[in-house]
């Protein structure tokens, strides 16, 4: 019977990775490229969306969250992926997620 190797999982060091995990709710555009009746077009509404990620940047114009991160051999986090840039004026709420 072979033994399973238990790999120690790296932990996020908040000193070197000072970003909060958040749930952002935001308003987005809705579009359609097919033929529709004018009455239906006039009823169109915007979409309310939610995204989860690490809050990488927030300023007057843009808010950037990143969903994925990668640990280096040294346990440092230098790369991320699956990021979303949202116009800050479209954000309805930001809630911090506790780990």
Identify how many contiguous H helices and E strands the chain contains and give both numbers. Answer: 1, 5
Contact 40, 32 (CB under 8 A): no
Residue 1: pLDDT band with limits 50, 70, 90: low
Q: Report if residue 44 sits inside a domain.
A: yes
Q: Report if residue 14 sits inside a domain.
A: no
pLDDT digits (tens, 9 = 90+) for 20-66: 999 999 999 999 999 999 999 999 999 999 999 999 999 999 999 99
Domain that holds residue 74: 21-96
pTM of the model: 0.84
**Two tokens at 1?**
């019977």
pLDDT digits (tens, 9 = 90+) for 61-92: 999 999 999 998 888 899 999 999 999 999 99
Q: Report if residue 2 sits inside a domain.
A: no
pLDDT greater than 80 at residue 7: no
Is the dihedral angle over the CA atoms 34, 38, 39, 44 positive or is it negative? Answer: positive
Q: Report if residue 52 sits inside a domain.
A: yes
DSSP string for 25-70: EEEE-----S---HHHHHT--PEEEEEEEEEEEE-SSEEEEEEEEE
Number of domains in the chain: 1
Q: Report if residue 67 sits inside a domain.
A: yes
pLDDT greater than 80 at residue 93: yes
Q: Report if residue 56 sits inside a domain.
A: yes
Q: Report if residue 16 sits inside a domain.
A: no
């Amino acid at each position: 019977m072979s033994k399973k190797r238990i790999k120690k999982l790296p932990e996020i060091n908040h000193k070197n990775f000072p970003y909060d995990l958040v749930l952002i709710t935001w308003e987005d555009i809705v579009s359609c490229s097919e033929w529709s009746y004018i009455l239906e077009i006039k009823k169109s509404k915007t979409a309310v969306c939610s995204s989860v990620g690490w809050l990488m940047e927030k300023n007057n114009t843009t808010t950037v969250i990143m969903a994925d991160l990668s640990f280096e051999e040294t346990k440092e986090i230098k790369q991320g992926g699956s990021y979303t840039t949202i116009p800050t004026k479209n954000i309805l709420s930001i809630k911090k997620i506790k780990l």
